[in-house]
Chain A
Amino acid sequence: MPATEKTWRDQLKMHVIFGITSLVMLVSTIWMLWKDHNREWRKWQLADRERAHWTIEAQLEQTKAESQGQLNTLYLQLSEVKRSKIEDALIENFRQIVQAEDARLAEAGIEEKPVDFTDLNAAQARLQSAEAGSDEAADAREAVLGELAEITNEAKRRELALTGQRKFMAADLTAAVSLRGIAVGEGESTETHDAEIRKLTEEIAEQDVKVSNAKSYRLALESVVSEIQATENDLQKRVSSIEADIARLQTQLDQNPGRVLDNPLETVVRWPIIDAFNTGGIKLEQIWLQDMKINYNFSSVARYDRCTNCHRAIDKTAPGSATAPAYPAIPRDQRVRALQLVPPAKVSEVVAAGKVDASTMEALYGLRLANRGQVNVDDVTVQVVHPESAAAKAGLETGDVIVAINGGQVQSAADVRHYLLELAEPNIPQGIDIRRGLDQPFTSHPRLDLFVGSTSPHKRGEMGCTICHDGQGSATEFKWTSHTPNDPAQAREWALNYGWFDNHHWIFPMTPARFVESNCLKCHHNVVELEPSDRFPDPPAPKLMEGYHLVREFGCYGCHEITGFDGPQKRLGPDMRIEPNYYDVAKQIASDPALNATEREWAMTLVERPEDNSAREQLMRSIKQDASLAATQAPSPAQTTARLTKETHQLADALREVEVPGSLRKVGPSLRHIGAKVNYDWLYHWIRRPADFRPTTRMPQFFGHFEHLSDEKQEFPLHNEVGEVEMVTDLDYTKRFEHIEIRALTEYLLKMSQRFDYLKPPTNITESASPDRGRWLFESRGCLACHSHGEFPGIASNQGPDLTRLAPKLNTPNGQQWLYSWLKQPNHYHSRTLMPNVYLEPILETDATGAPTGRVTDPAADIAAFLLGASAPWQPEVPTPQQQLSPREARDLEDLTAVWLTPSFQSKRLAAEYANKGIPERIAGTVKVDEMVLVGSLTPENRVEKQLEYVARRSLSRYGCFGCHDIPGFETAKPIGTPLANWGRKDTSQLAFENIGQFLATHGINGDQKPSAGHGEEASHEEHGLDPGDFGPDTGYFLQSLLGHQRIGFLWQKLRMPRAYDYQATVNKRYDERLRMPKFPFSESQREAVMTFILGLTSEAPDPKYVYKPTPRREAIVKGREVLDKYNCAGCHALELERWNFAFEPSLFGEPSKTNDYPFVQPVLSPEQIAASLAEDRRGMLQAHLYGMPAKNETTGTPQIVDADGVPIEPTDKSSLPFYKFTLYEHAVVNGAARLVGEPDPLVPASRSEYGPLNGVGHVGWGGDLAKYLYPRVIAKERETNPSAVAGEAWGWLPPPLHHEGSKVQADWLHDFLMDPIALRPAVVMRMPNFHMSSDEASKLVNYFAAQSNADFPYEYNSQRRSGYLAQREAAHPRLLDDAMKIVTNNNYCVKCHSIGDYEVRGGVKAQGPRLDLAYQRFRPEYLRRWIASPKRILPYTAMPANIPYDGNDPQLQRLFPGSSTEQVNGLVELLLNFDEYAKRRTSVKGLVAEPPAAAPTGRGTPPPRP
C-alpha cells in the first residue's frame, strides 16, 4: 500500500486517457470486424441476389401474362365438361360389365350380393333430365360418377381380398416345401408333405384364376370411367402443368430474398457472426480443382477458383435452352438499339377517355414496366411483354431498359406513358431506344455451348475459370483477381472505380479479352480441332485459328521452332516443326557425281518420297560405309579409298531416323535450281524488297528497315575509295552494307544453283501457243483455286502467289522454259511443292459433233503464253546495279568481310588483313566452314568473288533463309530464331526492350516521323512523351503494354517494326550482331491473330485428363483437316455447305410436295424433331435449320434474290419482299414436315441489309470458291455450243461438294484415287489434280471423309461382295446379273450416258456420266442403292434421272427384269457391285491355254515333267 494517496500523475487525467484509448481500441476492433465482414464479394452477391429476385419476379409475371388467357380457356372448358352429360351408352356399357360379372359369379356359385343399380339409375335419370351446362347437370354428373366410383371401389375391394387370400396360401406352400425338405434331410417319408404341396398348388392355381377375373373386372370398370372422364382429365392435366409452373416460380421467388432492406429481420441477421446462422445465399464459394494444378515454381498446387462469387450468373441459361445465355454479355457499344413500336388503333380513344395509367399501357401495348430496375434501381425496365402484343412485335423483351422514346429521354415510367399514350398516334411507329443486357459481373458466359454450361465440354465444376482466363482465382476482390483491361480507357475506369492496378506480383494476370482464345492451346494441341464443327457451327476460336493459319502460311516455324513435345510421349502444346530435311539432303547427295547407281536410285526415291524409310536407311548405311573408308588413315591394299566427298559424308547423319518428326514443309520454294528460273536482274530486286515486285507476297522484307537508324551522327568507320577511314552515319553504314549483302546473296544463289532438266513439249503438237486458249485453261483448270490473278477479279486465293505479274520475272529464255516445265509437272522441279500436277496433257481438239479435227494443242504452253502475255508492267524502285562492283562497293565489301571475320579472330586488325589477303593456309584447320572460302591468298582477280561468296554464306546463315527455302549447302542448318514453344510465358526480364519507348516517342508511333532535334537524348525515362490514352483502344492497349515492359507489347512492336529495338543500340553492336528479324506484311488484325497464337504457346499442358482427347472419329476429322488445309482442297471443293438457322411465320411454307420415294431414301423423323420444328417462340414464329446453299444466278454466280413467286428481283426493285431459293443438300424438317433434297427449292425470306436469312443467322460453308466462281462461266461456255444447256446441271461440270463423300465411296478406292487420281467424270471441266501426297496423308483424308459422314473407317465390310452372296441372291432370282444387265444395256437407261466395258457412249461429254465398270471399286453399297433409286435425293443438281420409279409397273421394265421396282434397283446394285464377277463369267480363258499332253501316270509327289 502506498504511504500516501499522492500519485505521480493526475489520476483523473489518466482515467480520461485510458477511456479515450479504450474507445479508440474499441473503434479499431469494430472497424476491423466491419472491414472483414464487408468484403467486396458480399456486395456483388447481394446485388446479384436482388437481380435474381427481380428476374424471377419478372419471369413469374411474364408466365402469368402468357398463360392467363390459356388458363382461363382451360378453366372454362373444364367447368363446361363438368356440366356436360354422360353418354348413356357408356353407363350402359358399365352396367353390362357389372351384370356380366354378377352373372359369372352366380354361375360359379360364389356368393356375392348383386350390385344394386338403384342409385345409379336415379342419378342417371337426373342427369338426363337436367339441362346440359346447368348446375343441376353438374350435380347429377357428379352423383353418377360417385356411383360409378363406388361400384369400382367395391370391385377393387373384392380383388384385394382375393389377393390377400392368395398370399396366405403361398405362405402355406412355402412352409410345406420347407417341411418336406427337412423330412428329406432326416430320411423320413415325404408322402404326406407331397400331398399337402399338391393340394396347395392346386388351390393357388384356382385362386389365381379368381384374382385375375376380379382384376380384369376392375380394370374394365375403370376404363369405362376414365373414358367418361377423358376430356376432363386431360384438361385438368394441362391446368396443373401451367399452375405447377407458376407455383414453382412463386416458390422460387419466396425462397429468393430480394433486397436486405425489404426484409426487416434480415437487416439483423446480416450482421457479423450472426450471419453464420443464416447465409441468405450469401456465402463464399469456390471451385476446387485438385488435378488442375497451378505452377508456383517450387510445387504445383491445386487450383481454387472463386470467380463465381461475383460472377454468379455465369452458367445461367435462358429458360428453355441448354446453351443460350440467360444474361448475354453484349458489348457496350451494341447495347443500345432502336426499335419501332406501333401504337394500336385504339390508342387515341383510350387516351381520350383519360385512361393514362399502367394498366392501360399493358392493355394497349402489352407492356408492363417494373417498379425498379434490374441492377440500377432507377432504370425504366420492361418487366412483362404480352405475347403477340405490339410490344412483342416491336421486339421488346423482359429486362430491356427504355432509354429514350422518339429521341426524348426517359427517366421514369410516367415518361413512357406520356410518350406512348398521350403523344403517340395510332399506327405511326414510335422509335424506342432501349438498352439491353447487363454489365459484368451479372452476365452469363457468352458461349455456354462451349464453356461453363452443364452440356458444354468445359463444365464449370470440372474446369474452373482460371485455366482459360488466367488471373488470380483465389482472390475475392476486383483488384486482387488480376483482371486485365482490354484498353487504356478501361484500365482507367477500373482504376478509378474498383481500385484496379497492375499487380505484377501475380505472374498469371488475366488474359485480356482480345487474347482470351490463346489459352485454348493449353489443351488443344492439334489446334485444327478448334475449327467450327457440326457440334459447334459458331467458330469456337476464330482469332486463334486465323493466327494459326498465318503462322503456317508465313512459315514462322522455319526460324522459330515450335516444339510441342517434352520427350516422345509428353505433349506440352501445339507442335509446328519442319519435317525432317530428307528431301533437301537427298537432293544434295544426288548432286555428288561419285554416287553409284544404286545409291543414286535411293537418293532419287527419297527426293520423290522422303517418307520412304528403307531407301533412306540403305542410303545412309552406304554413305557411312564409304565415310568409314575415308576415316581410315592408311588404306591397306584390300581397302579402296572413299568415293564420295566429305560433304556427302557429313550429310549421312542427317538421314537418321527422327523419333518424333515434324510434319510441316518449308513454306518457300526451293532455290536449288534458281538459276534455271530467274536471272540476276529480277533476283536482286526480289531480295531487296519482295513487295516491290509482288505487293501481296508473303515473303518478309529483310532489308531496308531504317526507321530506327540515325542519319545525323557520324560514328561508323568505313573505307573510302582510296582506302582511308571515314566516319559515316549509321544510316549510310547500314545502307552500304545491305547493298553489298543483297548483291552477294543474289550472285551466290545464282552461282550455286544446280542443273535443271527442262521438260520438252510433246512432239505431236500442231498448234502454236495461244494466250486466249491459255486464259480459259488458266481459269477453268483449277489454277484460280490457289492463285490470284488480276485478270480474274472475281476470285482471290492466297494458297499460291498472285500471278498477275510474271513477265518481268520469267520472260527470259530460262524463265519461259522453266514456266513450261513447272506448269506441266511442278514436282519435277521441286518434289515438296504443294502445287499439284493438273494434267496438262495435249488436247486433241474436236468439233461440235465430237469428231476430232486433227489439231493438237498444248495446254501448258497455252497457259504459259497467257501468264507471260497478260502480265502487269513493272518498274523496279531502284535501278539494277552493274554486276561489276564499283571501287567504293569493293571497299565496302571488304569492310563487311572484315566485320564478319572479326568474331572469329577476335581482332579487327587480323580480320581486316584476312579480308584483304585471305586466311593463311596454316590456320585453315581451325576456321569455320564459311571461312574456308577465304583460305588461300586472295588476288585482285578472285578477291571480290571470294569475298562475295563469303559474305553471302554468312548472310544466308544470319538471316536463316534456309528456314523457308531449300538452299544447297544449308541442308543441315538449324533454325535461327528464338524457340516459341513457351513464349507465352517468357519472363519479361529476358526481353530486351532497350530504348523502344524513346524510339516511339521521338519517331512517332509508326516510326515514320523525323525526331525533333535535341529531343531524343535529353528526354528522361519518365518523359517518353507517349500517353497510351491518346491512342485508340487497340494501339493504346499495346502501347501501354509495351511501355509497361510486358510481353504482349513487346511482341506487338516486334511484329510491327522488328528492328526498332535496335534504336540507339546499333552504336555498340557489330553489324553482324544487329537484330535480323524481317518484317512480315501483316495487317493490324493479322498481327493480333498471330499474337493470339504465339501468346497461347505456354508449354503449360494441364493434367492429361484435361487435355483434349478426341474420339477416334473426331480425331480422324482433326487429322484430315490438317491435310485438307495443307493442300487447299477447299479451294475447289465445297467441304461444308451453308447452314441457315432462322425464324419464320408458320404460314410461310406450304405443304411439301408429295413424293413417291423408295422407303429407304425417305428420311426418318423422330417425334422430337417434329415437335422442335413446331415449337413457336414468343413472337409466334417457328425455327428452321437448312443445309445447302441458295440458288445462284446463272450469269453472275451470285445468290439469286427472288420475289414471293420465285421470279428474280431486279436490283432496282425495292418494294417486293426478297427471298432466296435455298437448294437443300440435306433433308430438313420444317413446320413439322420433311423437306427433301431435290424437291423444288423452298423460298427463304432474305435479309435486306446483308447476305443471309431474315430473322436468323447463316453460317457460311467451307470451300468451293472455285466451283462457285466457275458456275456462271461454264454455263456461258457451254451455251456457246449448246444454247439449251440446263444451268442447274452446271454444278455437275465442276468439282463436286464433298460433304457426303465418306458415305459414298469406299475407303480403299478413295485412298488410291487421292494418291493417283483417275479421270472420272467426262463432264467436268477439269480433272482432279495429282498432289503427290503421301499414303499417310491420303489415309488421313479418307478417314476424315468417312468420319465426317459417320461411315465406317478405316475399313468397311462389304457384304454384297462376299462369296456366296450372289449365289444366295441368284437362288431367289436366277439370272439376276443378266437381267440387271438388260436394264443397263437398254438404250433408254444406263448406257445412254454411261460407258461400260468396251461400250463407249457417243456424243458431247457434258451428257456423259462416269464409267460403270469401276463402280464396284468405288461405291459403298447403300449409297449406290439410294443413288440409283433417287439421285436427286442425294445431289439436287444431278442430271441423272430416277430411272426406276418406285412401284412403277412399267411393262417394258418387267420384260427386262421381272420383279418389283425395289428388286430391280437391288438387282442393278448387285450387278454394279459385282461387275467383275459378271465380267469373269463372260470371259473364257480356258481356250487360250493349250491342253497339256496326257502324261504317263507317275508316282505320287513326283512333279510333272517340264517341257
Chain B
Amino acid sequence: MHAPPDFAEKVSSFLVWYYITLAVMNGVAAYYLWQKTEPVTYFRTRLGNATISFTNALLWCLVAVAFVVLASMTGPNLGTMPQLPEWFRTFVNESTGPVIYTVGTTLVLMVLFFLRSWFVKPAVAWSIWNLMLLFLGLSMPDPDFYGIVAKPDNVPIMALIFLLAFFTWLATYRAVENDRRKELGLPPVEKEGSEKILVWPDLVYTEMICMIALTALLIFWAMWLQAPLEEPASSVKTPNPSKAPWYFLGLQEMLVYYDPWMAGVVLPSMIIVGLMAIPYIDFNKSGNGYYTIKERKFAYITFQLGFLELWVTLIVLGTLLRGPNWNFFGPYEYWDAHKVEALNNINLSQYVWEIWLGQSLPAVPALTWLPDLLRPFGQFLAILFGRELPGTLLVLGYFIVLPPLMAVTVLRGFYNRMGFIRYMVLAYLLLFMASLPVKMVLRWVFDLKYLIAIPEYFLNF
C-alpha cells in the first residue's frame, strides 16, 4: 500500500497523544500504588549513600517515562518513528494463517486458563495490558496495519479486543479470588458486602451518570470518526472483501467451512436455541451470585469455548485478517486483491470412491419406476445412501453413536443427574458446537470440502 502523502503526519499526531495517554495511565497507576497500597519492593540498590528501593510504583513510573520517551520520538517522519522492525512484521505476515490463528488462540486460552492464578495478578495483568497497548502503538506506523485498524468501521472491534481482555481479566480475577477463599473455607467476596442498597441514589443515579457519560462519549466519537460513506451499490461490482456487519463476522467465517444453509441457518438457530435452553440444562446450583471457576468448570469452559473462541476470535479474524476474496492477510500485509489462494478441497465421497477405491462416483439412479412426484425424493435418498454413504455413515455415527457413548463415559455423571431428555439436548448442543472445530480440523488436515455433498439438491454438510 502506498501511504498517502500526509500519512506520517496523521499517524504521528495520533501516536503522540496515544503514548502520552499511556504514560499518564501508568503514572496514575504508579501514583495509586505509591499512595494507596503497601509498596512491593523487587530489589534494592545502593547509589552512593542512599539506598534505592526498586518498588512497583517506581517500575510503573519508569514505564510511564518510557512512554513519554516514545512520544517524544514520534515525529512526522516514518523513518524515525518507533515501530516494529521490518523482519518481525514480515515474520508475522508469513507465519500466520487461519490455522495458526485458530489453534494459537486455543492454546493461548488454554494457557490463560491453566495459569490463571498467575495471569490474574494485577502486576502481571497490568504488564500484559501495557504490552498489548505498546504493541498496538508500535504497529500503527505500518500503513497496512493502520489502514485496517484505523478504519472507522473497525475501531469498535479494536475497542472490543481491549474491553474483552479487561472484563475477562476482571471476571477471572474475582473467580480466582473466590476459589482461593473457598479453599480457605471463607465465603466469596460478594458475600462479604451483601448489604441491601438503595434504588435511589445508588442504582438510578449511577445509571444516569453512566448514561450521560456514554452519550457524551458517543457524540465525541461520532465527531471524531465519521460514518464512512462508501461507493454506490452495484450489482456488477461488489465490494471486495464483502463483509457482514462486524457482529456477524463469526457467522461469515463459518461459511468458509460449511454450506450456507448450515452456517447461515442451522448453526445460528442452534445458537439461539442453545442459549434459551441453558437455564433448563444447568443443574449446577453453585456459583449463584458470585464468580467462580472451580465450582463451574464445565459451564465455564463451555462458555469460553463457545463465546471467546468460536464467536469473538472469529469476529476479530473476520474483521482484521480477512481481506479481498476472503483471503487471510497478515496484520502488516497489503490487501492485494490479486492474491489468490488455492482452494483445492475434495469431498469425502471423492476420497472414498475415486482415491481409495479407484473408481468413479456411483451414478445417480434414474428411478424411472417411481412416480414423478416421488422421484426426486427417491433420488435424494439414493445419493445419500449410495454415493454419499461414507459421509452419511459418519454423520449419523456422530449424532447417533456419540451421545450414548458419552453418556456412559465422559458425561456419565451428567446423564445420571439430568435424565435422558435433558442430557440428549445437552449432548446435541455440544455436538453441534463441536462440529465447527471438527470441520475446521478436517479441512486443515484433509482438505475435506464436504462430508456429504449433494449439490443436485443444494444440500452439503
Do A and B interact?
A: yes
Judge whether B198 is part of the interface by a CB distance below 8 angstroms.
Answer: yes
Contact A297 B233 (CB under 8 A): yes
Report Cα–Cα, A11/B237, bound state, in Å. Answer: 59
Task: For residue B416, give the distance in angstroms from its CB to the closest CB of chain A.
Answer: 44
We find that the number of chain A residues with CB closer than 8 angstroms to chain B is 39
Contact A28 B216 (CB under 8 A): yes
- Which residue of A has the minimal Cβ distance to B228? A505
Within 8 A of A (CB), among B289-318: none
* Contact A1021 to B334, CB < 8 A, known contacts A9-B206, A495-B5: yes
Judge whether B354 is part of the interface by a CB distance below 8 angstroms.
Answer: no
Task: For residue B218, give the distance in angstroms from its CB to the closest CB of chain A.
Answer: 9
Contact B198 A7 (CB under 8 A): yes
* Contact A505 to B216, CB < 8 A, known contacts A491-B5, A1043-B2: no
Contact A9 B215 (CB under 8 A): no
Contact A32 B212 (CB under 8 A): no
Which listed residue, B2, B90, B219, B237, touches A29 by the CB 8 Å rule? B219
Q: Which residues of A contact B195 (CB under 8 A)?
A: 8
Report Cα–Cα, A28/B213, bound state, in Å. Answer: 10
Report Cα–Cα, A21/B220, bound state, in Å. Answer: 13
* Contact A989 to B215, CB < 8 A, known contacts A501-B4, A505-B230: no
Q: Which residues of A contact B90 (CB under 8 A)?
A: 1020
Report Cα–Cα, A1129/B334, bound state, in Å. Answer: 57
Contact B233 A24 (CB under 8 A): no
Judge whether B37 is part of the interface by a CB distance below 8 angstroms.
Answer: no
Contact B209 A18 (CB under 8 A): yes
Task: For residue B318, give the distance in angstroms from its CB to the closest CB of chain A.
Answer: 21
Judge whether A506 is part of the interface by a CB distance below 8 angstroms.
Answer: yes
Within 8 A of A (CB), among B198-249: 198, 201-202, 205-206, 208-209, 212-213, 215-216, 219-220, 222-223, 228-237, 240
* Contact A28 to B219, CB < 8 A, known contacts A14-B205, A17-B209: yes
Within 8 A of B (CB), among A489-504: 491-492, 495-496, 499, 501-502, 504
Within 8 A of B (CB), among A466-523: 491-492, 495-496, 499, 501-502, 504-507
Contact A11 B201 (CB under 8 A): yes
* Contact A298 to B213, CB < 8 A, known contacts A11-B201, A495-B4: no
Judge whether A2 is part of the interface by a CB distance below 8 angstroms.
Answer: yes
Contact A989 B337 (CB under 8 A): yes
Task: For residue A281, give the distance in angstroms from its CB to the closest CB of chain B.
Answer: 28
* Contact A18 to B230, CB < 8 A, known contacts A31-B223, A495-B4, A1022-B334: no
Contact A21 B213 (CB under 8 A): yes
Task: For residue B193, give the distance in angstroms from its CB to the closest CB of chain A.
Answer: 9
Within 8 A of A (CB), among B1-20: 1-2, 4-6, 9
> Counting chain A CB atoms within 10 Å of each CB, which of B195, B197, B201, B215 scores highest?
B201
Judge whether B282 is part of the interface by a CB distance below 8 angstroms.
Answer: no
Judge whether A119 is part of the interface by a CB distance below 8 angstroms.
Answer: no
Give the secondary structure class of B's interface: loop
Task: For residue B140, give the distance in angstroms from its CB to the closest CB of chain A.
Answer: 16
Task: For residue B196, give the distance in angstroms from its CB to the closest CB of chain A.
Answer: 9
Within 8 A of A (CB), among B61-96: 90
Contact B216 A14 (CB under 8 A): no
Judge whether B190 is part of the interface by a CB distance below 8 angstroms.
Answer: no
Contact A8 B219 (CB under 8 A): no
Contact B2 A507 (CB under 8 A): no
Q: Which residues of A contact B230 (CB under 8 A)?
A: 505
Give the secondary structure class of A's interface: helix
Which listed residue, A18, A21, A1021, touches B336 by the CB 8 Å rule? A1021
Judge whether A296 is part of the interface by a CB distance below 8 angstroms.
Answer: yes
Which listed residue, B144, B202, B336, touches A9 by the CB 8 Å rule? B202
Task: For residue B345, give the distance in angstroms from its CB to the closest CB of chain A.
Answer: 24
Q: Which residues of B contact A987 (CB under 8 A)?
A: 237
- Which residue of B has the minimal Cβ distance to A9? B202
Contact A505 B231 (CB under 8 A): yes
Contact B9 A496 (CB under 8 A): yes
Contact B209 A21 (CB under 8 A): yes
Judge whether A25 is part of the interface by a CB distance below 8 angstroms.
Answer: yes
Report Cα–Cα, A499/B336, bound state, in Å. Answer: 26
What 0/1 pattern do residues 7 to 51 of A give for CB contact below 8 A with B?
A: 111010010011001101101110110010000000000000000
Q: Which residues of A contact B240 (CB under 8 A)?
A: 989
What 0/1 pattern do residues 427 to 444 of B give for CB contact below 8 A with A?
A: 000000000000000000
- Which residue of A has the minimal Cβ distance to B6? A495
- Which residue of B has the minimal Cβ distance to A1029? B5
Report Cα–Cα, A17/B209, bound state, in Å. Answer: 8
- Which residue of A has the minimal Cβ distance to B4? A501
- Which residue of B has the minimal Cβ distance to A1? B198
Q: Which residues of B contact A7 (CB under 8 A)?
A: 197-198, 201-202
Judge whether A1104 is part of the interface by a CB distance below 8 angstroms.
Answer: no
Contact B234 A297 (CB under 8 A): yes
Contact A505 B229 (CB under 8 A): yes
Judge whether A1044 is part of the interface by a CB distance below 8 angstroms.
Answer: yes
Q: Which residues of B contact A9 (CB under 8 A)?
A: 201-202, 206
Report Cα–Cα, A710/B236, bound state, in Å. Answer: 38
Report Cα–Cα, A2/B201, bound state, in Å. Answer: 10
Contact A298 B229 (CB under 8 A): no
Task: For residue B95, give the distance in angstroms from its CB to the closest CB of chain A.
Answer: 16
Contact A298 B197 (CB under 8 A): no
Contact A297 B235 (CB under 8 A): yes
Contact A492 B5 (CB under 8 A): yes
Task: For residue B25, give the distance in angstroms from its CB to the closest CB of chain A.
Answer: 19
* Contact A22 to B198, CB < 8 A, known contacts A502-B4, A505-B230: no
Contact B202 A297 (CB under 8 A): no
Report Cα–Cα, A501/B215, bound state, in Å. Answer: 30
Q: Which residues of B contact A504 (CB under 8 A)?
A: 231
Contact A507 B198 (CB under 8 A): no
Report Cα–Cα, A9/B195, bound state, in Å. Answer: 13
Report Cα–Cα, A505/B228, bound state, in Å. Answer: 10
Q: Which residues of B contact A17 (CB under 8 A)?
A: 209
Q: Which residues of A contact B222 (CB under 8 A)?
A: 32
Task: For residue A607, give the distance in angstroms from its CB to the closest CB of chain B.
Answer: 45
Which listed residue, B143, B144, B201, B232, touches A297 by the CB 8 Å rule? B232
Within 8 A of A (CB), among B308-357: 334, 336-337
Contact B1 A18 (CB under 8 A): no
Contact A35 B233 (CB under 8 A): no
Report Cα–Cα, A507/B229, bound state, in Å. Answer: 12
Task: For residue A893, give the distance in angstroms from its CB to the closest CB of chain B.
Answer: 36
Which listed residue, A27, A28, A506, touches B231 by the CB 8 Å rule? A506
Task: For residue B327, give the distance in angstroms from its CB to the closest CB of chain A.
Answer: 15
Task: For residue B42, give the distance in angstroms from its CB to the closest CB of chain A.
Answer: 34
Q: Which residues of B contact A22 (CB under 8 A)?
A: 212
- Which residue of B has the minimal Cβ distance to A992? B338
Contact A2 B198 (CB under 8 A): yes
Contact B6 A14 (CB under 8 A): no
Contact A14 B9 (CB under 8 A): no
Q: Which residues of A contact B336 (CB under 8 A)?
A: 1021
Which listed residue, A25, A506, A1022, A1043, touches B212 by the CB 8 Å rule? A25
Within 8 A of A (CB), among B136-157: 143-144
Q: Which residues of B contact A35 (CB under 8 A)?
A: 223
> Counting chain B CB atoms within 10 Å of each CB, which of A11, A296, A297 scores highest?
A297
Report Cα–Cα, A14/B210, bound state, in Å. Answer: 11
What 0/1 pattern do residues 181 to 197 of B give for CB contact below 8 A with A?
A: 00000000000000101
Report Cα–Cα, A499/B240, bound state, in Å. Answer: 26
Contact B197 A8 (CB under 8 A): yes
Q: Could you write out 29 A-B pairs with CB less than 8 Å apart?
A: A9-B206, A17-B209, A21-B209, A21-B216, A22-B212, A24-B212, A24-B213, A25-B213, A28-B220, A31-B219, A31-B220, A35-B223, A296-B232, A296-B233, A298-B232, A298-B233, A495-B6, A496-B5, A496-B6, A499-B6, A501-B6, A502-B4, A505-B228, A505-B230, A507-B231, A989-B237, A989-B240, A1021-B1, A1022-B334
Which 5 A-B pairs rank lowest in CB-CB distance, beginning with the nearest?
Answer: A297-B234, A28-B219, A296-B232, A8-B202, A505-B231
Interface set of A (CB-CB < 8 Å, partner B): 2, 7-9, 11, 14, 17-18, 21-22, 24-25, 27-29, 31-32, 35, 296-298, 491-492, 495-496, 499, 501-502, 504-507, 987, 989, 1020-1022, 1043-1044
